[in-house]
């Protein structure tokens, strides 16, 4: 999976002073970062193997400023990489050296909360967790909960259609967004949807959510907020083989029971997370499921009993139900801290394929074989309930041979996901990481149609260039 990034356009670089002068007329001086050492903070996202320093970083505070910046960039043919908090794991926010970063980190206002209609309107730079924090005192929450929810912005969640542990019951970002304010590449400000469940005409929200900043820049969002459940309770279920754990997940889903979450960890992940969070995870099992249900005490008890009964056919060596809110918090602290905890012991490349849940036992076995064939290790931590895999390929980022091996192993895993009926990405997006694998999932006609939409909304291909679509076979951008 070789990732190529074009060399800087020297003409653009020579016009740098003119471009920076123009941008300085749109935003305040403290919202424009031009010094190379300060721009270096934006040189990568969470896919840290690849780095580029942008020409400048612009941090607008209003939709109108975004519109003016975009108009200026189109007029001067300056590339734009939209950025939330930089937590992308697929290189989606990786800069280009002949373009700017347009970050939404200063757009952090919660504009309106409407409990009667169960909506909140927020600027795109509001962090995921802060939506819930704003409404939690009144008994509400925002459902999508990526592991990076303390840092990631709603803009990034929209760009990648993020999910999280609780998306099994409540859905991913696209199921929880009702309206968007979007700035198109010509500076036009448009409103899609609103504070109602279904919009008339074409599903333009569905087009924008998950489009990775290719079609426009989201500046505001109207999100759905939900009433908190009466209660929630997780249980830990340990198995002596990943195959049995995977089969148990498929059986639970196949029974018609939809827990709030079913999360999976294998033995390497269990140990790392337990050492970090002291969550009470068992260290003598090969695979661990965290299964959470919610409702009244009686409802939760009934669901946990039914799940435990189903699991008996797969010989769990541990079934432990949380007995307190403090214990439940520790269980989820371990899971939410998993990626950071793994980073304490090894560099890793995090994959993000999805598969039908019935293929989970086979796919887990093949992932282990694939990674071992490249001489590397793997830790599996993922959303098992909806088949969204996150195998962490462990390697040394300072060893070029191991970097290459990790990329090859990752490509083979993603191809496997497509082969069994899944897809390349569940919530991390395509970015640059999976760009050259798009032909594994889509025909050239499929890609041509997608790129035709891109060309219609961004005719000069200035928005988040060199991402998503393979470099070969792209249409020639229109001349300014």
Number of domains in the chain: 3
Tell me, yes or no, whether 223 and 237 share the same domain.
Answer: no
Q: Which of 103, 137, 165 is the last residue of a domain?
A: 103
Structural domain boundaries enclosing 335 = 232-339
* pLDDT confidence band for 228 (50 / 70 / 90): very high
Closest CA to 353 of 416, 414, 411: 414
From residue 238, give the alpha-carbon distance in Å to each of 93, 160, 235, 275, 319.
Answer: 37, 32, 10, 17, 7
Tell me, yes or no, whether 87 and 187 share the same domain.
Answer: no
Q: Which of 192, 211, 227 is the last residue of a domain?
A: 227
pLDDT computed for residue 209 by the predictor: 97
Closest CA to 3 of 418, 400, 470: 470
Tell me, yes or no, whether 143 and 241 share the same domain.
Answer: no
Q: Which of 78, 103, 128 is the last residue of a domain?
A: 103
Tell me, yes or no, whether 138 and 218 share the same domain.
Answer: yes
The yes-or-no verdict on residue 181 having pLDDT over 60 is yes
Residue 380 CA to residue 269 CA, distance in Å, equals 7
Tell me, yes or no, whether 18 and 79 share the same domain.
Answer: yes
pLDDT computed for residue 10 by the predictor: 58
Tell me, yes or no, whether 310 and 243 share the same domain.
Answer: yes
Mean pLDDT of 178-196: 94
The yes-or-no verdict on residue 11 having pLDDT over 70 is no
Mean pLDDT of 256-268: 93
Q: What is the CA radius of gyration of the chain?
A: 23
Tell me, yes or no, whether 114 and 223 share the same domain.
Answer: yes
pLDDT computed for residue 384 by the predictor: 87
pLDDT computed for residue 475 by the predictor: 86
* Range of 10-14, 241-245, 293-297 with top mean pLDDT: 293-297
The yes-or-no verdict on residue 13 having pLDDT over 60 is no
Tell me, yes or no, whether 188 and 261 share the same domain.
Answer: no
Q: Tell me whether residue 249 is in a domain.
A: yes
Largest Cα–Cα distance in the chain? Answer: 69
CATH number where 125 lies: 3.30.465.10
The yes-or-no verdict on residue 62 having pLDDT over 80 is yes
297 sits in which H/E element:
helix 297-311
Higher pLDDT, 180 or 9: 180
List the beta strands (DSSP E) in 254-337. 261-266, 287-294, 318-321
pLDDT computed for residue 14 by the predictor: 67
* pLDDT confidence band for 357 (50 / 70 / 90): confident
With b for 16 or more beta-carbon neighbours within 10 A and e for fewer, the 200-231 pattern comes to: eeeeebeebbbbbbbbbbbbbbbbbbeeeeee
* pLDDT confidence band for 358 (50 / 70 / 90): confident
User: Computed from CA positions of residues 204, 209, 211, 217, in that sequence, does the dihedral angle turn out positive or negative?
Assistant: positive
Q: Tell me whether residue 140 is in a domain.
A: yes
Residue 283 has a CB neighbour count (10 Å cut-off) of 11
**Residue 300 backbone dihedrals phi, psi, to 5 degrees:** -65, -40
Mean pLDDT, the chain, integer = 92
pLDDT computed for residue 436 by the predictor: 94
Q: Tell me whether residue 355 is in a domain.
A: no
| pTM beyond 0.75 | yes
Higher pLDDT, 49 or 284: 284
DSSP string covering 400-428: HHHHHHHHHHHHHHHHHHHHTT-BS-SSS
Tell me, yes or no, whether 212 and 127 share the same domain.
Answer: yes
Q: Tell me whether residue 295 is in a domain.
A: yes
* pLDDT confidence band for 12 (50 / 70 / 90): low
pLDDT computed for residue 477 by the predictor: 76
Tell me, yes or no, whether 223 and 236 share the same domain.
Answer: no
Q: Which residues pair with 223 in a beta bridge?
A: 120, 177
Q: Tell me whether residue 128 is in a domain.
A: yes
Please state whether beta strands 32-33 and 56-58 pair in parallel, antiparallel, or not at all (unpaired).
Answer: antiparallel
Q: Tell me whether residue 401 is in a domain.
A: no
Q: To the nearest whole percent, how much of the chain has pLDDT over 70?
A: 96
- Give the neighbor-by-neighbor strand order of the sheet with 119-123: 110-114, 119-123, 217-224, 177-183, 189-193
Closest CA to 140 of 260, 225, 221, 197: 225
pLDDT computed for residue 341 by the predictor: 87
Mean pLDDT of 450-473: 95
pLDDT digits (tens, 9 = 90+) for 286-319: 999 999 999 999 999 999 999 999 999 999 999 9
Q: Tell me whether residue 387 is in a domain.
A: no
User: Computed from CA positions of residues 287, 290, 291, 296, in that sequence, does the dihedral angle turn out positive or negative?
Assistant: positive
Q: Tell me whether residue 454 is in a domain.
A: no
Closest CA to 159 of 464, 477, 472, 475: 464
Query: Which tokens belong to 284?
Result: 């003598």
pLDDT computed for residue 340 by the predictor: 85
CATH number where 317 lies: 3.30.70.3450
pLDDT computed for residue 243 by the predictor: 87
**C-alpha triplet 100, 104, 110: angle, nearest 5°:** 170
Range in 40-49, 305-314, 396-405, 447-456 with the lowest mean pLDDT:
40-49
The yes-or-no verdict on residue 56 having pLDDT over 60 is yes
162 sits in which H/E element:
none
Which residues lie below 8 Å from residue 337, measured CB to CB, with a gap of 6+?
Answer: 273, 276, 277
Closest CA to 373 of 420, 342, 414, 408: 408
Range in 114-128, 169-183, 327-341 with the lowest mean pLDDT:
327-341
Tell me, yes or no, whether 96 and 116 share the same domain.
Answer: no
CATH number where 95 lies: 3.30.43.10
pLDDT digits (tens, 9 = 90+) for 200-225: 778 899 999 999 999 999 999 999 99
Tell me, yes or no, whether 176 and 249 share the same domain.
Answer: no
pLDDT digits (tens, 9 = 90+) for 118-177: 999 999 999 999 999 999 999 999 999 998 999 999 999 999 999 988 999 999 999 999
The yes-or-no verdict on residue 473 having pLDDT over 60 is yes
């Amino acid at each position: 999976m070789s990732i190529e990034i074009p060399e800087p356009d020297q003409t653009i670089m020579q016009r740098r002073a003119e471009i920076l002068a123009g941008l300085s007329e749109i935003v305040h001086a403290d919202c424009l970062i031009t010094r190379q050492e300060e721009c270096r903070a934006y040189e990568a996202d969470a896919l840290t193997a690849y780095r580029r320093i942008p020409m400048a970083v612009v941090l607008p505070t209003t939709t109108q400023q975004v519109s003016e910046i975009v108009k200026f960039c189109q007029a001067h043919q300056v590339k734009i990489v939209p950025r939330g908090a930089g937590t992308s794991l697929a290189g989606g926010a990786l800069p280009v050296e002949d373009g700017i970063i347009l970050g939404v980190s200063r757009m952090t206002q919660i504009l309106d909360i409407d409990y009667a209609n169960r909506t909140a309107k927020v600027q795109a730079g509001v962090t995921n967790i802060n939506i819930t924090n704003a409404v939690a005192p009144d008994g509400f929450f925002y459902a999508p909960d990526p592991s990076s929810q303390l840092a990631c912005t709603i803009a990034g969640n929209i760009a990648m259609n993020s999910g999280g542990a609780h998306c099994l019951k409540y859905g991913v970002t696209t199921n929880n967004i009702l309206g968007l304010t979007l700035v198109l590449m010509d500076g036009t400000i448009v409103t899609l949807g609103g504070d109602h469940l279904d919009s008339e005409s074409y599903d333009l929200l569905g087009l924008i959510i998950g489009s990775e900043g290719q079609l426009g820049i989201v500046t505001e969002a109207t999100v759905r907020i939900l009433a908190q459940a009466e209660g929630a309770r997780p249980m830990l279920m340990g198995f002596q083989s990943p195959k049995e754990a995977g089969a148990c997940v498929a059986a639970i889903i196949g029974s018609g029971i939809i827990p709030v979450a079913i999360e999976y960890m294998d033995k390497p992940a269990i140990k790392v997370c337990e050492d970090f969070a002291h969550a009470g995870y068992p260290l003598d099992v090969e695979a661990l499921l965290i299964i959470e249900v919610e409702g009244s005490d009686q409802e939760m008890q009934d669901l946990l009993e039914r799940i435990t009964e189903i699991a008996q056919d797969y010989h769990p060596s541990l079934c432990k139900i949380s007995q307190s809110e403090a214990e439940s918090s520790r269980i989820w602290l371990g899971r939410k801290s998993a990626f950071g905890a793994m980073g304490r012991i090894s560099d890793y490349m995090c994959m993000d394929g999805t598969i039908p849940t019935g293929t989970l036992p086979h796919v887990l076995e093949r992932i282990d074989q694939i990674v071992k064939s490249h001489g590397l290790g793997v830790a599996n931590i993922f959303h098992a309930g909806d088949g969204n895999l996150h195998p962490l390929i462990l390697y040394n980022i300072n060893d070029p041979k191991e970097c290459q091996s990790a990329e090859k192993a990752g490509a083979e895993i993603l191809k496997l996901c497509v082969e069994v009926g899944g897809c390349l990405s569940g919530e991390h997006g395509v970015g640059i990481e999976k760009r050259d694998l798009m032909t594994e999932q889509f025909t050239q006609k499929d890609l041509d149609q997608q790129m035709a939409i891109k060309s219609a909304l961004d005719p000069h291909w200035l928005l988040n260039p060199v991402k998503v679509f393979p470099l070969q076979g792209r249409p020639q951008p229109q001349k300014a």
